[in-house]
Structure 1
Amino acid sequence: MRMHWDAFLATVQERGEYPTQEEAERAARTVLALLGAHLVGDVRSELAARLPEGLALVLLNPLQAFEPLSPERVIRATSAWIEGACERTATWDSSAVLSVVSDLAGEDLMSRILLQLPPGYDLLFGCPKPVE
């Protein structure tokens, strides 16, 4: 079931403690573009089907990553794409967006998403893996 645009951005705005919905949208577009560059196949299309249409297009039409980026490199890329951001605020932005994505995805899809990403993304999504 696709989440409505306003509901998605309101949740990102609340979790990110952004003063405006525009700031939440900027973070969502940046983070989803970077995420989309790392996901392929059914996983990406299943996640896109749950996102608001405008954000689904961001996820589905990214520039492809030449290599998988570690969470640290994604944070650096996020801080470069968001005006005035630093790595600390980019981590905050990423977690605000990705925790909403995690809620939308559900446990099964989230586990398949994390399989496509380098280790460490579980913390950004707010679903750390138990230590074995």
Structure 2
Amino acid sequence: MRVNWDAFLAAVQERGEYPTMEEAERSSRVVLALLGAHLVGEVRNELAARLPETLALVLLNPLQAHEPLVPERFVRATAVWIEGATEQTAAWDVSAVLSVVADIAGDDLLNQILLQLPAGYNLLFGRPQPA
């Protein structure tokens, strides 16, 4: 079931402790564009079907990744795409967005997502152990 735009951004805003919805939206767009470059096939389509339509399109039309990024490089790439971000703030942004994505995905889909990603992404999704 697709989550609505306002509910998704409100959850990201709360987790990221962002002062505005615009900051939550900016982080969501960047993180989902990078995540979309790492997911393929039915897993990416299933996740997109659960996201608000605008963000589903971001996930389905990702930034191009030439190779799968390990979690540290994913955070660094996020920092590059968010104006004024540092690696520390980008890690916060990634965690805020991906923990909401994990909740929306549920354990079964999250496990399938994690299988497509390099080791260590479970922590970025806010899951100390694989789901």
Q: Give the structure-2-normalised TM-score.
A: 0.97
Which amino acid is the alignment partner of residue 30 of structure 1? V
Residue 105 (structure 1) aligned with residue 105 (structure 2): yes
Q: Which amino acid letter does the alignment assign opposite residue 25 of structure 2?
A: E
Percent of aligned pairs sharing the same letter: 77
Q: CA RMSD in A?
A: 0.8
Q: Which moved more, 1:101-110 or 1:64-73?
A: 64-73
Residue 78 (structure 1) aligned with residue 109 (structure 2): no
**How is 1:34-45 mapped onto 2 (pairs within 5 angstroms)?**
34-45=34-45
Between the aligned partners of 1:116 and 1:80, the Cα distance in structure 2 is 23
Q: Residue 28 of structure 1 aligns with which residue?
A: 28
Tell me by how many angstroms 1:126 deviates: 0.5
Question: In the aligned structure 2, how far is the partner of 1:64 from the partner of 1:76?
Answer: 15
Between the aligned partners of 1:65 and 1:117, the Cα distance in structure 2 is 12
Match of residue 120 from structure 2: 120
Moved more, 56-65 or 22-31: 56-65
Report what 2:11 is aligned to. 11
Q: C-alpha distance in 1, partners of 2:107/2:17?
A: 25
Give aligned pairs, total: 130
Unaligned runs of 5+ in 1: none
Whole-angstrom CA distance in 2 between matches of 1:79 and 1:50: 26
Q: Which amino acid aligns with 1:43?
A: V
**Per-residue deviation, 1:60:** 0.3
What's the offset of the Cα at 1:36? 0.1
Give the 5 Å matches for 1:35-74. Answer: 35-74=35-74
Shift of 1:65: 1.5
TM superposition shift of 1:64: 3.1
Task: Give the stretch that moved more between structures: 39-48 or 57-66.
Answer: 57-66
CA distance in 1, matches of 2:71, 2:86: 15
Report the Cα offset of residue 77 of structure 1. Answer: 0.5
SS of residue in 2 equivalent to 1:49: helix
